[in-house]
Structure 1
């Protein structure tokens, strides 16, 4: 796949204006992660691809913007203007620097207000995604342990209902990858998902699929990029959720 890359040298580029109405803009702060969905109700570019529009005030230091999804190929654009559509003036763009189907842009921006276009690479692609803005440049992750001897890690995930239900639900996509670890293959995670979800209020369930997708990205990314600590993070979160909900905990190591 050829990446559609727009570098900082394209600051002066002005794209042809579209007749599409201005899209809604969602504010996101540095240090925040938020999820959304691309679908037929989302604004659309001339190439037929859907997008979401976000606004951030980057501050004076470097920032890193990640777009994460397992539903489609992410294409991230940062720029200026009044809207994220065709009239947006791009400063930088990325297709797959976030690994797999994810996109990532980092740098120091002098503009006090940035637009973030969370775009699908191809026309008509739909699904859930996350946007995260962090202070600083991307960290270079050290490879810890191996897939045969997963390292011990401390999970930063809570054991809230939507987190645990999302972790259990993710196993539907991950079982063939992590089924060889500990007692994973003997546990009915679908049943645990149903039990935890059944205890939640209806308005609390909206985040479950977003969280599930994130766990799939974390664990599969670990296998693809040879980062066993990411696989261990997922299994550690599962174990924490199991204990919090009174289940027999998953064991992480083979």
Structure 2
């Protein structure tokens, strides 16, 4: 990785080797790149992972934030509050939307002071890293979020009876993958399937089975091909069906 190649000449690049105290916040401007180090002297989150806190004043313009390292799996969180610790109010988070295990978040953040948490994904990991803030959104394909914070999408499917029966049936295969989103794990989708399926006509029974397979495939391909929009589309279909049939709706976000 680029960050690892850069790190071989760390002395010449003068990366910050001394960790800052938990309350320290380093300013970074739009258009600036800076290096630092996560180590045993860095502040920790409740999960045991090291982090450092950066602050940018984006002034409502679109920006892209990159967190890069060849020494640890990066995890990037932006939000608001007084500190980047566990009490920070997160707006967006990303694990690996950058190349390899690098993280990237882009968007327009209408807050005067945006906190940036440069974090290691795993407890105890550390090393040199680079953080970069650039004006504008990526010029590559549109970023559609990550599995940690699913993007907002509009489902292509409606709320016809066979669609909703299929969406609930697909959950039997998908719940182990999507159970971490909102209240998914606490909902009995088999019971919802039975209630909705009772309204199916004879000709719609086969269509419900087809929809179940199609929706399960769509969501699973999202995990396989790293397309969080596919997972979001499936959960949005489930949520729309919940609302249409008077159920407590699924919440997509953790």
Q: What TM-score do the two structures reach when normalised by structure 1?
A: 0.47
Q: What TM-score do the two structures reach when normalised by structure 2?
A: 0.47
Structure number with greater Rg is 2
